[in-house]
């Protein structure tokens, strides 16, 4: 539900505005959706906006120029605001992170949040199973006065992988591969991903325990899993959380990883013994010797149960749940390890975002490609048929424009172009497309920006945020 990108850096901070459309129950007393983009109030004490981060189910997030994570929505304690991932105010306010935490990047899944600071530390909170071992910041009485070690003791979360381990075993000693039977998520599980949930929450932030000296540059959050991109070991991806469909890229269906574990996207140590200096990633199970273009990962994205990464050479790798073709490999099989989307080889991919069941990516030339589930038109192809291979969007509305930023909500998509236009498509029940109505769209439609130009976009499950500035 997020994409790693520049977020309009280099613009004059005082000129930036954040616009929002869609639905945030706790922030809208009348429980009415916002059908067209409206300006979000900057909190008192903050001078300007820096970036937008989307948000999860019922809450939104953005970053101020002082590095505060600003959140709003989902304040109801009676279950009326769905899952809250910690309480967020009705009006935008800094989330209670430690004073010294200056946020550089942030992301949210269905009901957990993760943020990376300018010094490479990571804080996360929300669903208990999404929060790895580390120091919990705060307590029930004061919010931010204590630090305590967090340990997962429940049987449900007992499968643990240390940051340096390589043997994936469950707590009862069985190999993770014993659970490798393909699982199609039941209608009940589908419902759980689009309605309220009674999972245990960790409302207070946890400072993630990282390897000594490790610094994280960016983060991505999926339904119940998290990816982080290291700046210390340039381009190394780390993951934790739920991995039952392969969304952690560890080569198995391990259900729970409760501490950061390296994801072998491009890793020479993964191929020791292979000839020709082949890289760690591969094209697919039938072509284990394929060399992944590039030397490191430069961008990461998480969907509901799948993940995507981009290498410095512009190769797109995907892994995880494949039931709707969201891995782009031409099938509906799950991908347990990062593998190249072979049909895009030769096209340099610059950005990628992932929704609940779909994936959208943009090329260096500004073209938009889509694949996966398409029940609400979220692929933008003009129909509702799923696509198991990337499809170039040739909509009239995208002619002569170059896409520069991309984001996906649960079932909608958005891009911002080089010249500051915004296009949205897909599910629009809550006005999240910003088009003034609640009619779904199956082709990209331009959003009116009231005299401003967009520089970045970030979609939540039921809403969309835009970072904008006056035209130059």
Residue 165: count other Cβ atoms within 10 Å of its Cβ: 12
Give CA torsion, residues 231, 85, 89, 67, to 10 deg: -10
Distance between start and end Cα atoms, the chain = 30
pLDDT at 87: 74
pTM score: 0.82
Query: Which residue in 96, 91, 93, 87 sits closest to 70, CA to CA?
Result: 93
Q: Which comes out higher in pLDDT, residue 237 or 12?
A: 237
**Residue 110 DSSP symbol:** S
pLDDT at 387 over 50: yes
Q: How far apart are CA 355 and CA 362, in angstroms?
A: 15
pLDDT at 167: 32
Each domain of the chain, given as residue ranges in start order, spans 13-166+191-469
Mean of per-residue pLDDT scores for the chain:
80
pLDDT at 19: 96
Q: How far apart are CA 24 and CA 2, in angstroms?
A: 18
- For the stretch 396-439, pLDDT in tens is 999 999 999 999 999 999 999 999 999 999 999 999 999 999 99
Confidence grade of residue 276 (pLDDT, cut at 50, 70, 90):
very low
Pick the CATH number of 13-166+191-469 from 1.10.10.60, 2.130.10.30, 3.40.50.300, 3.40.225.10: 2.130.10.30
Q: Indicate the range of 261-265, 276-280, 349-353 predicted with least confidence.
A: 276-280
- For the stretch 142-172, pLDDT in tens is 333 334 444 333 222 222 223 333 333 333 3
What is the token pair recorded at 205? 């932030």
Confidence grade of residue 203 (pLDDT, cut at 50, 70, 90):
low
How many residues belong to the chain?
Answer: 472
pLDDT at 23 over 50: yes
As a whole number, mean pLDDT of residues 47-76 equals: 90
pLDDT at 301 over 50: yes
pLDDT at 123 over 60: yes
pLDDT at 28: 64
Do residues 231 and 215 make contact, with C-beta atoms less than 8 angstroms apart? yes
């Amino acid at each position: 539900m997020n994409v790693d990108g520049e977020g309009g850096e280099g613009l004059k901070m005082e000129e930036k505005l954040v616009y929002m459309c869609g639905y945030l129950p706790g922030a809208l007393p009348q429980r009415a959706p916002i059908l067209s983009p409206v300006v979000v109030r900057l909190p008192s004490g903050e001078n300007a906006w820096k970036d937008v981060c989307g948000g999860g189910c019922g809450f939104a997030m953005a970053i101020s120029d002082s590095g505060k994570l600003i959140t709003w929505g989902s304040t109801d304690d009676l279950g009326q605001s769905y899952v809250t991932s910690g309480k967020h105010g009705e009006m935008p306010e800094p989330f209670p992170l430690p004073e010294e935490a200056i946020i550089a990047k942030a992301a949210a899944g269905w009901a957990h949040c993760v943020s990376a600071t300018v010094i490479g530390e990571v804080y996360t909170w929300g669903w208990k199973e999404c929060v790895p071992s580390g120091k919990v910041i705060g307590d029930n009485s004061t919010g931010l006065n204590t630090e305590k070690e967090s340990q997962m003791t429940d049987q449900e979360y007992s499968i643990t992988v240390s940051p340096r381990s390589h043997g994936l075993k469950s707590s009862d000693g069985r190999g993770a591969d014993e659970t490798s039977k393909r699982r199609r998520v039941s209608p009940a599980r589908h419902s759980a991903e689009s309605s309220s949930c009674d999972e245990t929450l960790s409302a207070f932030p946890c400072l993630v325990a990282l390897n000594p000296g490790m610094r994280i540059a960016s983060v991505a959050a999926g339904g119940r899993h998290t990816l982080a991109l290291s700046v210390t070991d340039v381009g190394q991806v780390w993951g934790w959380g739920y991995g039952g469909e392969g969304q952690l890229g560890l080569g198995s269906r391990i259900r729970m990883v409760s501490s950061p574990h390296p994801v072998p996207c491009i890793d020479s140590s993964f191929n020791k013994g292979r000839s020709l200096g082949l890289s760690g990633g591969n094209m697919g199970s039938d072509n284990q010797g394929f060399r992944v273009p590039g030397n490191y990962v430069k961008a990461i994205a998480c969907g509901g149960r799948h993940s995507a990464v981009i290498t410095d050479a512009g190769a797109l790798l995907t892994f995880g749940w494949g039931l709707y073709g969201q891995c782009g490999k031409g099938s509906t099989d799950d991908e347990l390890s990062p593998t190249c989307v072979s049909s895009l080889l030769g096209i340099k991919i610059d950005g990628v975002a992932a929704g609940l069941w779909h994936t959208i990516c943009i090329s260096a030339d500004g073209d938009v490609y889509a694949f996966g589930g398409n029940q609400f038109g979220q692929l933008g192809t003009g129909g509702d048929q799923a696509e198991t291979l990337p499809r170039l969007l040739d909509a009239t509305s995208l002619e002569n424009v170059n896409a520069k930023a991309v984001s996906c909500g649960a079932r909608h998509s958005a891009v911002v172009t080089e010249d500051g236009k915004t296009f949205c498509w897909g599910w629009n029940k809550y006005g999240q497309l910003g088009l003034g109505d609640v009619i779904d769209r199956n082709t990209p439609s331009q959003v009116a920006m009231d005299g401003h130009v967009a520089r970045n976009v970030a979609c939540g499950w039921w809403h969309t945020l835009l970072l904008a500035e006056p035209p130059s």
